[in-house]
Amino acid sequence: MAKRVIIAGGNIAGTIVANRLVQKLEHEVNKGDVEIVALNKSDEHIYLPGQLLVGFGLETPGELVRKESELLDPRIKFLHGQKGTISKIDVANHSVQTADGVSHSYDYLVITTGVDYTWDEIPGYRSAAHTVYEYDDAIKMREALEKFDGGTIVVNTAKLPHRCPVAPLEVTLILDDYLRKRGIRDKTKIIYTYPVQGVFGRPITNKFMLRLFEQRGIEVHSPFTVTSVDPNNKVIESQEGEKLKFDMLIGIPPNMGAKVIEDSGIGDRRRWVPTDKFTLRMKDHSNVYVMGDATDLPVSKAGSTADFESYTVAHNIANDIKGNLGVKHYGGDVLCYIATGTDQATYIRFSYTMNESPPPPSYVHWWGKIMYNKMYWTVTAKAVV
């Protein structure tokens, strides 16, 4: 009987690993010895990193959306809608139930269900904040910024960890440049609020960014742990006892793992799935792998992380099936471009054992960021390299 590999969740992580698996197991898939099944809520694939640029009118929203079915290798069985929406992951019985009532058994499972935003953890936050974290909101933020003509803008990060840890830095630095180019920076105060001391969780990047923020005249209030927002009076309040008045609030919402992780009883308090940091196996379940934003790993929740992880997961599943390839370890690799304006960027590349060393911001790295985004559809998602 054919071995079945199920990929649970199909945006960045699920798509890359499904395509990479077909390549790794091409012979077995072609012979019908291995079946790869991808399950996702919808057939819409949104490239979330592009939303940052949409929020400032630097990218067209339509560029960020493609059909999942067109990104996946045709040899992958893809189910979406009721048929692809997972209601329960049953790791004890090696099966996944979908909303149409069908139970799908698996030999190997890859959990790539990503993140849910839990705005309601903070009263008033959802209705008061603009954000680039959601597609429709990124478009609304661009419209609101076009109408903005001066005042106080607060950029707030609600909780750590959240996906794309560098995005709050990017939002703030692009905003600064955007307002300068519109000639209203001197009429605008930008306040950056962050739940831990400083502006970023890694010491080298924190120091680098603090210098940049100082040069740009951006106020930093940290630690600042938001507890509530008053949308009528436009005040954001912190656990540390600060109250800040704003004319515009840009928010990074609280992140948790997907609801199905809690419903299946397989996550921690914030629904992250316990994952071995090297093999990427779910702890205590040797035929289940976890990738992308869904893991509890001490690495950035980023598309590049998912891409790096996909080599390990695809290889290890191929080894589980063929038995002659050896086990591959993920080294904690992450690459993040950091936009520092509307046409300049730096980047950080680090791993479990290597620290980052961000180069001075330049147009060359901005170009690198744009190319990385553009190549997503034809190269990264299709696992071409």
Ligand X SMILES: Cc1cc2nc3c(=O)[nH]c(=O)nc-3n(C[C@H](O)[C@H](O)[C@H](O)COP(=O)(O)OP(=O)(O)OC[C@H]3O[C@@H](n4cnc5c(N)ncnc54)[C@H](O)[C@@H]3O)c2cc1C
Q: Which residues bind ligand X (CB under 6 A)?
A: 9-14, 39-41, 48-49, 51-52, 84-86, 112-115, 132-133, 163-164, 167, 258, 260, 292-294, 301-304, 306, 336-337
181 token code pair: 């180019």
86 token code pair: 């997972």
* Three-state secondary-structure class, residue 257: strand
- Give the single-character DSSP code of 376: I
d(CA 261, CA 253): 19
CB of 104 to ligand X, least distance (A): 12
CB of 242 to ligand X, least distance (A): 26
CB burial class (10 A; 0-12, 13-18, 19+) of residue 241?
A: exposed
103-105 β-sheet, strand order: 86-90, 95-98, 103-105
CB of 133 to ligand X, least distance (A): 5
Closest to ligand X by CB, 178 vs 237, is 178
Contact, 227 vs 239, CB < 8 A? yes
User: What are the angstrom distances between the C-alpha of 307 and each of 136, 170, 269, 334?
Assistant: 26, 21, 26, 9
Closest to ligand X by CB, 114 vs 267, is 114
Question: Per-residue DSSP letters for 344-360?
Answer: -EEEEEE-SS----PPP
Closest to ligand X by CB, 19 vs 238, is 19
CB of 345 to ligand X, least distance (A): 10
CB of 254 to ligand X, least distance (A): 13
Closest to ligand X by CB, 238 vs 366, is 366
Q: End-to-end CA distance of the chain, in Å?
A: 31
Closest to ligand X by CB, 84 vs 267, is 84
Closest to ligand X by CB, 23 vs 85, is 85
Closest to ligand X by CB, 88 vs 221, is 88
d(CA 370, CA 368): 6
CB of 193 to ligand X, least distance (A): 18
User: What are the angstrom distances between the C-alpha of 286 and each of 15, 17, 21, 62, 276?
Assistant: 22, 18, 17, 40, 10
Question: What's the longest Cα–Cα distance across the chain?
Answer: 69
CB of 106 to ligand X, least distance (A): 14
CB of 149 to ligand X, least distance (A): 25
